[in-house]
Chains A and B, each alone.
Chain A
Amino acid sequence: MFRFLAIRFGRAALTIVLVVTFAFIVLRLSGDPAVAIMSPEAPPEALAAFRRAWGLDQPIWVQYFRYFGAIAQGELGQSMRDGRPAIVLVLERIPATLMLTIPAFILKVGLGVPAGIQAALHRNSFTDRAVMTMAVAGFTVPSFVLGLILVLVFAVQLGWLPSGGQESWRSAILPVITMGLGGAGVLARFTRSAMLEVLGQPFIRTASAKGVPWPQVVRGHALPNAAIPTVTIVGFMVGSLIAGAVVVESVFSWPGVGRLLVVAVGNRDLAVVQCILLLVACTMVAANLTVDLLYGVLDPRMRARKS
């Protein structure tokens, strides 16, 4: 067990390093922060001074090692735009993002999983077809399209809800629904196929043959097995709680981490972008680790493999 955990943690750390390195390289290659932040018309001496101040005049590998050295000391750099610590800027925005992503996550799981189970239990029925049609619509329509439609209907036409901003809890309703429906569609489809796979297994027939009433077969025998693959996708959704709202926050001008990221990328505000990516990588990796550990809890065959 200890060895298993050690390997897992090692891999997680490696993943984070690779993500950060990749982000570092792409950002350095994609434009000059000095020009982006000051303006293309700024005097060359001012640009040179800016580059010197932020260490951008150094060779890229020097920048890279300095950057990692700083991270190792817990120093994530300052925003090039307003000089405040990047981590502070990011942390400020997290509550706003969670205000959208947590209710959306609850909506995804609360709607997607039961819908998928019902669809599987009544395969090829009207319920199944209706659920699957909605699910396919839910995850094929891009969230910016769905968001705009919702805004047109509920904000512009009916005037029931605000179209953007963060004035009250009512402003969160449309973005939460936008995110939740897409995720619920993905989850419903996934749960359905996991459930169908399990329902076709011989041990389900064995349970029926020994006289277990059907509702108990579903609860006691099918669901615990179908949960094993479903947990993976739920885990990914947990991992995207921080960064999953980039598009939706932009559509609804919601001042969360996603919006901060869009602005920071536009400005080539390297420290802020890297800080967000590091945070995202950490939550993703943490979610993956949790999924792996949950596998062990849910599936005795995995437990055996680990020890």
Chain B
Amino acid sequence: MMPLLRLDGVSRVYRTGGGMFGRGSLVRAVDRVSLDVAPGQTLGIVGESGCGKSTTGRLALGLEAPDEGSVRFRDAPLPAPGTAPWRAMRRDMQLVFQDPLGALDRRLTIAAQIAEPLDIHGIGGKSERQDRVAALLRDVGLRPDQAAQHPHELSGGQRQRAVLARALATDPALLVCDEPISALDVSIQAQVVNMLADIQAARGVALVFISHDLKVVRQVSHDVAVMYLGRVVERGDPDIVFATPAHPYTQALISAVPVPGHRQRARIVLQGEPPNPANRPTGCAFHPRCPQAMPRCAAEDPAVTTLPDGRAVACHLAETPSRIAA
């Protein structure tokens, strides 16, 4: 099947530090990332802060232009940010991020905010828009009377539902969700996760789901990418990736997730912290923290290897599959 969205070797380079006269240094926030999203499916992106997962989401939406590589949506290149064709395209691609209160206008009612994208893109007449807002509210599980309320009158979970309703108003083909449930309580997270699954089943919208929470990502994703320091280090079917991670970083990440009832599991505790992207280690960027690093890892950048189960792994160990620690 033709992917809905395809990122082909995209990089995003920022210049940091340096003032008027300083040179600063170049930081590769995203480094030659290739990903694709099938229509109606969910791509999960996991990684720690600074790994480039949010920047990848912004590149996918065309909110930022890549410095290398290309982003194609429905097999056509993304128009440059800010141009008229780009704005028209926003109908089909929407963004939802962590803080629902920050994403909503405090002065407008929920209904007015949900109707806003319809106004912007000139969709439907007045009564048609009203019907659509009512239907959207129902889809995200808000009561009809909440349409007239203001953001501060809603709970955190209800606000995130309102944000989702607004994102869905234009019936987009792709929704990029950046940590959409991280600010919510456990019992509310489950409500929103279920709602996302229902909406996807009903509307066939594709999702890019960016989160640091591995359990939630596994729950919602058809395909998962693990990022470290701007690169995708492992990618594949979430059930396979999370059950038998191939990359030592994925292994550590998964073993770091505490699960009730699985006490005293053998845990891999990585030493040190993710390095500064401005100061990327040579060879494999993970080698200074990797419990299985070999001399070769410091010298040679691992190529992406495709395993027999369809997974893509960027690790020298994966090149000789028998050596992967299960």
Contacts and interface: CB of A to CB of B under 8 A. Distances in A.
Nearest to A305: B19
Interface residues on B, range: under 10
Interface in A133-188: none
Interface of A: 3, 7
A3 B19 CA distance: 10
B20 interface: yes
Nearest to A6: B21
Interface of B: 19-22
Contacts of B21: 3
Contacts of A3: 19, 21-22
A159 to B, nearest CB: 57
Contacts, number: 5
A3 B23 CA distance: 13
B147 to A, nearest CB: 35
Contacts of B20: 7
A303 B20 CA distance: 17
Nearest to B22: A3
A3 B21 CA distance: 9
B242 to A, nearest CB: 35
A7 B22 CA distance: 12
Contacts of A7: 19-20
A3 B22 CA distance: 10
Which 5 A-B pairs rank lowest in CB-CB distance, beginning with the nearest? A7-B20, A3-B21, A7-B19, A3-B19, A3-B22
A141 to B, nearest CB: 34
Nearest to B21: A3
B253 to A, nearest CB: 28
5 contacts: A3-B19, A3-B21, A3-B22, A7-B19, A7-B20
A13 to B, nearest CB: 15
B24 to A, nearest CB: 13
A7 B21 CA distance: 10
Contacts of B22: 3
A129 B180 CA distance: 43
Contacts of B19: 3, 7
Nearest to A7: B20
A3 B20 CA distance: 10
B287 to A, nearest CB: 29
Nearest to B17: A305
A175 B21 CA distance: 48
A7 B20 CA distance: 9
